[in-house]
Amino acid sequence: MQKGLILLFGIVTYLFFFVAFLYFIAFVGNLQTTALADAWPALVELVPYSVSFGRETGPPALAVAINLGLIALFGAQHSIMARSGFKSWLASHLPRSAERSVYVLLSTALLVLLMWQWRPMGPVLWSVDAAVGQVVLWSLVAIGFAMVFVSTFLIDHFDLFGLKQVWSQFRGREVQPPRFVTPLFYRVVRHPLYLGFLIAFWAAPTMTLGHLLFAAGMSAYILVGVKLEERDLVRYLGSDYERYREQVPQLVPVPGRAWRDRAGRQSAMAD
Q: Are 122 and 208 in contact (CB under 8 A)?
A: yes
Q: Given CA atoms 188, 192, 196, 197 in this order, what sign does their dihedral have?
A: negative
CB of 183 to ligand SAM, least distance (A): 9
Nearest to ligand SAM of 191, 211 (CB atom): 191
Positions touching ligand SAM (CB under 6 A) are 151, 155, 178, 180-182, 186, 191-194, 229, 233
d(CA 246, CA 217): 28
Alpha-carbon torsion (220, 225, 227, 228), positive or negative = positive
- Shortest Cβ 199–ligand SAM spacing (Å): 12
d(CA 109, CA 89) in angstroms, rounded, equals 21
CB of 81 to ligand SAM, least distance (A): 11
Nearer to ligand SAM, 69 or 183 (CB): 183
Specify the residue, 155 or 258, whose C-beta has the smaller distance to ligand SAM: 155
Report the residue number, 169 or 182, with the smaller CB distance to ligand SAM: 182
Distance, in Å, from the CA atom of 151 to the CA atom of 194, rounded to the nearest integer, reads 9
Q: Closest approach of Cβ 269 to ligand SAM, in Å?
A: 6
* Residue (3 or 187) nearer to ligand SAM, CB: 187
In whole angstroms, how close is the CB of 255 to ligand SAM at the nearest point? Answer: 20
Residue type, 224: V
Least gap, CB of 246 to ligand SAM (angstroms):
15
Q: Of 43 and 156, which CB lies nearer to ligand SAM in the complex structure?
A: 156
SS3 106: helix
Number of H helices, E strands in the chain: 12, 2
Residue 43 near residue 188 (C-beta atoms within 8 A): no
C-alpha atoms less than 13 angstroms from C-alpha of 249 in its C-beta half-sphere: 9
